[in-house]
Structure 1
Amino acid sequence: MISLNSGPAPDILYADERLDIRTSGCDQIRVTGEIDVTNSDAMVKALLPALDGRRCPVVDVGGLAFIDLYGLRSLASLSDEQVRLRNVQPNLARMLGLLAWSTFSVS
């Protein structure tokens, strides 16, 4: 069978029963599932080497079903500057609006 996908295969950075984190090597990280106090520290530990000092990391959160405040704080800790979030779902957009953090930019 011939694959029509011309991009690189995604690399799994972290996976547990509730969270999957992958990168496609194109400067973007995709998180799918749930981030909370039970897996936030493991998420940060997996992401920091992949970010390798990027000033403004891009995280696709379109597949995120749930994130608690601890998870948001963990995402914010990934960069000294802004963390760019892509494909933000309405519930997360509302939470970010209520918090009014300048740590995140939404695209």
Structure 2
Amino acid sequence: MKILLKIKSNQEVECYEAMALAMTLATFDNEVQIWLDSACFGILLNPNSRLAGMIKSLDLYDLPKAWLNDDVFSGWLTGMLDMTIAKQLTSVPETINLKNFDEVLTF
């Protein structure tokens, strides 16, 4: 299955649970794309947060770079992040066809 997992929460526990689900789904050969809303950015600023640690390990699960909303994905804001986290993020594509995903999950 191809799954889009949107994380809109500013609560670390909710972000952690969503990321844990994404990684579990990826383990079972699902294609998972993570989309982080601007509400998550404050959590990402703490390099010791669980969300930041999980973003750092996307490669281990063969997950693509996480999308980060354009309102926070700019040079100076991503420059505030730890480089290992910033390297795992990319801007949300200009056009997204949700029909390309079998499921869209929002947290």
With the length of structure 2 as denominator, give the TM-score of the two structures: 0.48
Q: Which has the higher helix share?
A: 2
Structure (1/2) with the larger strand percentage: 1
Name the structure, 1 or 2, with higher relative contact order (CA <8 Å, separation 6+): 2
TM-score, with length taken from structure 1: 0.48
